[in-house]
Amino acid sequence: MTAITTTVTRLQATGRRPQVAIVLGSGWDGIADAVQDAIDIPYAELPAFPALSVAGHAGALRLGRIGGHEVALLRGRKHVYESGDAAAMKGPIRTLAALGCATVVLTNAAGSLDSSMRPGSLMLIGDHLNIVQRTPLHDEPGDARFVNMADAYDPALRQRAKDAASAAGIALHEGVYAWVLGPQFETPAEIRMLQRLGAQAVGMSTVPETILARHAGLRVLGLSMLTNMGCGMEAEVLSHAHTLQTAGATRALAARLLQAVVPALLPPLP
């Protein structure tokens, strides 16, 4: 049996049938407290899931319900910068698809490239720039690897998310997310380049997961928490501690957004 088959079997034995999966990036973990009937399975018990190393990520799968809907929360992700492996999240994404999830919500912390989008605010990802030009699909056989990336961030789900945020009174920007490899932050010249290329946010995750999810036939919703302005835009000095500090301060708002948005993602679109 492959690692994915073993992991799917292990998760099916819980009797849970998650319809929506949420990958929780820095600052987004507050929603975990709102899950009812939660059961936790450490990634270490799931052979298709990665071992994690970044502070602020719990490394466990939480299955339960939000607003009456079955969900799977991935509390932490493996970044490509940790190993150089662009397919680091292949196991989890394919496991979720095999479990029957139709939709995945990918969340992250990102730097803002737009002076009107302030640290501590939230952004819906409308599209992305794969600046790294790496793919998690390089060893995929067959024509399915030529994934159509038009509407990678599902327009109907985006509309549902915007409506739900607005009904909950939560401001939600929308913009293009640029994936950089990291773990070093950008130079001021790189930030100016990304602005000219049309990005509103920059971060070190999500894009490979979006590609994997689209390849697996999942619909994707992407959400960024803007934790800082891009390097050189303002006087602040960037650090991972600074990202985690703003993420902590925005944690409750992010949890409220997900509590409003997740129920709106169901029923699944045809």
Q: Which residue's CB is nearer to ligand HPA, number 168 or number 244?
A: 244
Residue keyed to tokens 């919703």 = 221
Among residues 7, 200, 206, 227, the one that binds ligand HPA under rule CB under 6 A:
227
Nearest to ligand HPA of 103, 228 (CB atom): 228
* Tokens linked to 203: 């971060």
Q: How many residues bind ligand HPA (CB under 6 A)?
A: 14
User: Which residues in 35-74 contact ligand HPA (CB under 6 A)?
Assistant: none
Helix (H) or strand (E) holding 17: none
Assess whether the previous peptide bond of 183 is cis (omega < 30° from 0). yes
- With CB atoms as reference, the residue minimizing the distance to ligand HPA is 111
The minimum distance between CB 108 and ligand HPA, in angstroms, equals 7
For residue 269, what are the contacts with CB-CB under 8 A and spacing of at least 6? 102, 154, 156, 157, 219
**Residue 138 neighbours by CB distance under 10 Å:** 9
- Measure the CA–CA gap between 1 and 96, rounded to whole angstroms: 17
Question: By CB under 6 A, is residue 228 in contact with ligand HPA?
Answer: yes
Among 43, 71, 230, 256, binds ligand HPA (CB under 6 A): 230
Of 102, 110, 194, 211, the one binding ligand HPA (CB under 6 A) is 110
Q: Which of 92, 111, 136, 222 binds ligand HPA (CB under 6 A)?
A: 111
As a whole number of angstroms, the longest Cα–Cα distance in the chain is 53
**End-to-end CA, the chain:** 32
**Cβ count within 10 A of residue 10:** 15
Task: Point out which residues bind ligand HPA (CB under 6 A).
Answer: 109-111, 180, 185-186, 202-204, 227-228, 230, 238, 243
